Structure 1
Amino acid sequence: MDGVDDFEQALGRVLAAGAAGRDGDAETDGAASVLAGAGERWVDVAAEAYARIRQQAHARGWEAPDLVRMAGRELTPRHLRLAEGLEQGRDLAEFVARERLDRFSGATAFVEVLHLYARLPRIPALTGGGPAPATPGQGKVLGRIRALLAKAESTGYPEEAEALTAKAQHLMARHSIDAALAAGGHTGPGSRRIGVDRPYEGAKALLLDAVATANRCATVWSADFGFSTVVGHDGDLEAVELLYTSLLVQADRALHGGRVSRSRDFRESFLVAYASRIRQRLTEAAGEEEAAGTRTAPDLLPVLAARDLAVQRETERLFPATTTSRLKGRDADGWVQGERAADRARL
């Protein structure tokens, strides 16, 4: 067990250097040397250290996808591949062989990932909404939504994309209403984190909020960590992630389809306007389904109001202190083009 103890001590010096505000390069090299020199047990030593650091990060609220996302955000693509492999159960030796590294270089990357994980602060732990009554055809409905959005992403005809996306949002809203009526007031909201990647994170977080709000969810953007936490009921959370991902793909295609070089202000204004217009369209589609639902189910409005209140309270519990930020479009042409792209997007 000496190898484990020696590496733990060396890793402790790395963490202490970081806590003291030093770059810790010398300590990192030292820890990597200890790990690389652990002989045949070096992979086992690394696995034990990783399990401990990962468990500590989990206790501070970080889930596996969050850790992998942070490795890619704060370090390099190589560190991202290492983090993904570790989460998939691959050992350090596999990473070294796949990347064609010497043992010391692989150990250095490993120590850097552990250092990142160890210094992550505490964040709100994700919550589950608890088991909800299954609505008839639930899996089939989500399958239809996925199929509609996949078709919307692949078509080369803007009008068809718009119609397909609109149909998906109507289906999502109807599914949410059915789930609300089936569950009554017996299930609470849960939460999940959705990555908001560079560049233009603010505009992308705005788009995610537009999708979430239209689907009876709430979002809080954690700009420093590259994600938004979405609070809502389980079926709504799934729908929000599906639609947000699809709309991002459609926005990217519209923004770069002409292959014309654009300024940063143009691209950011485009995405802000896109998010703003998408919010309007989604809200209208959801409102139409709600109006139709109330005509056939008179008790729907109190049920939806109770679910909305539950989402609000859960969001406030997870995030008792938040701030509001504003985004401005600085390029008029970008704004106009973004609104046009949103009008063409499939909902």
Structure 2
Amino acid sequence: MEPVIDQAFAAALYAHDDTGLDTGASLLAAAPTADDEAHARGEEFVRRAWARGWQPADVIRIVRRELDESGAALAAALIATETARYPHLPPRWADQLAALPAPAPRNRPDRFSYASALLGLYRLLLGLPSIEPVGPAPGTAADRLYQPPAHGESRMLTRIRALLAKAEGTGFPEEAEALTTKAQELMARHSIDEALIAARTHSDETPGACRVGVDAPYETAKAILLDAVATANRCQAVWNSELGFTTVVGFEPDLEAVELLFTSLLVQGTSAMTKAEAGQRAGGRKRTKAFRQSFLMAYAQRLGGRLASDTARVTAAADAGGAADDIPGATEHAAPGSLLPVLAARDVAVTDTAERMFPKTTTTRVRGATDLDGWTHGTAAADRARLGRGGPGIDR
């Protein structure tokens, strides 16, 4: 059956029109005995993606963006089969695999449609560019030697997660404000605790990285928000606008904090934007894309300064005399004046790692907001989230 597969792939995968896909799909649909080999080759395309720096969540995100949800289900089936052959997987992969969409059943709704969708997916996988790896690929020597930091889900992170979940679910802005502020304080304290433990134990832990999806619409505003969250939590963020994600570089506890807070603030901001639009419509004014873009830009910009302010306040309190009494959960104590050199050393390590991963970046000037009502409502929503003002410059 290999000649049939070779003919189908030659027709479909290296052309750029639907005619080639139709020809290849017709050949595969007429050869049921070729199904296993066709899927085995798809698994090989997935392995090639790992070698080029991609991870399961990255593949699913780009397939959804370039194809559709059915294509993501096809990719999920290939990923699940391919990764099942490894005795263990790199850090973060288990969570990504658990979040995969339900795998697509074979040959549904019919053989031709299925084969056409499968070949379209293979065409996309073959064209994926190399990207900066954020960890070893499974099955490689680097993966076998790699020992991830043994952090796990600490009680502090569990509490932070619970606070943010309450902030997202409450219908009272004042309560959401208090909960989100407390969560950021705990994140800052958690980062300090981890830094002090690492310094005291002479840990050889180095910064890592993760990728966070930044999806349309309004991806520029979302990237600015993520950059603000990363900076406030002692990380650096580099946005790849073409592929729809930001790479965040930092120490593992800080990366966890960034992912948690960004996701929560995006939920809170979207909810506030929806309510603001409803109020405007009730007043007889039609809201537009410009309103939503301006809202999220103001929300992201306004949050930056207050995020940084909260972190600076907690850091100053800790450096002045140990764990702050008004921040429950603080455990590590530093001698007065001894904390800042520890944090500075970690900042340098993060900067060095980011510069090695991304030796060439550009700063993008973003388009200003054009809807005054959107900007006003977005600023107010950021104030209610208790997280506030910062510049919009981002690395790209």
User: Normalising by structure 1, what TM-score?
Assistant: 0.90
The residue that corresponds to 1:228 in the other structure is: 246
Within 2, Cα distance between the matches of 1:24 and 1:10? 14
Superposed CA offset, 1:229-252 (max 9, x none): 110111111110010000010011
SS of structure 1 residue aligned to 2:209: strand
Extract unaligned runs of 5+ from structure 2: 82-100, 137-145, 323-333, 388-396
The residue that corresponds to 1:20 in the other structure is: none
Q: For 1:300, which of 324, 327, 339 is the aligned residue?
A: 339
User: Normalising by structure 2, what TM-score?
Assistant: 0.79
The residue that corresponds to 1:62 in the other structure is: 54
Q: How many corresponding residue pairs? A: 334
The 1:30/1:310 distance shift into structure 2, 3 A limit, reads same
Extract unaligned runs of 5+ from structure 1: 18-22
The residue that corresponds to 2:25 in the other structure is: 32
1:201 is aligned to 2:219: yes
1:318 is aligned to 2:357: yes
The 1:8/1:170 distance shift into structure 2, 3 A limit, reads farther
Q: For 2:380, which of 329, 336, 340 is the aligned residue?
A: 340
Alignment map for 1:131-280 (pairs within 5 Å): 131-132=148-149, 134=151, 139-184=154-199, 186-258=204-276, 259=278, 260=281, 261-280=286-305
The residue that corresponds to 2:70 in the other structure is: 78
Larger proportion of helix: 1
* TM-superposed deviation, 1:157: 0.3
The 1:181/1:138 distance shift into structure 2, 3 A limit, reads farther
Q: Which has the higher contact order (CA 8 A, sep 6+)?
A: 1
AA aligned to 1:194 is V
Within 2, Cα distance between the matches of 1:250 and 1:91? 28
Superposed CA offset, 1:232-278 (max 9, x none): 11111111001000001001100012423421111111111101111
SS of structure 2 residue aligned to 1:193: strand
Superposed CA offset, 1:16-49 (max 9, x none): 32xxxxx33222122222322232451x123211
Within 2, Cα distance between the matches of 1:305 and 1:244? 24
Within 2, Cα distance between the matches of 1:12 and 1:236? 46
Computed over aligned residues only, the root mean square deviation of the Cα atoms, in angstroms, reads: 2.1
Within 2, Cα distance between the matches of 1:12 and 1:324? 41
- Give the % identical residues: 50
SS of structure 2 residue aligned to 1:94: coil
Superposed CA offset, 1:76-134 (max 9, x none): 2322232234334499871544xxx1111011111111111110111111138964465
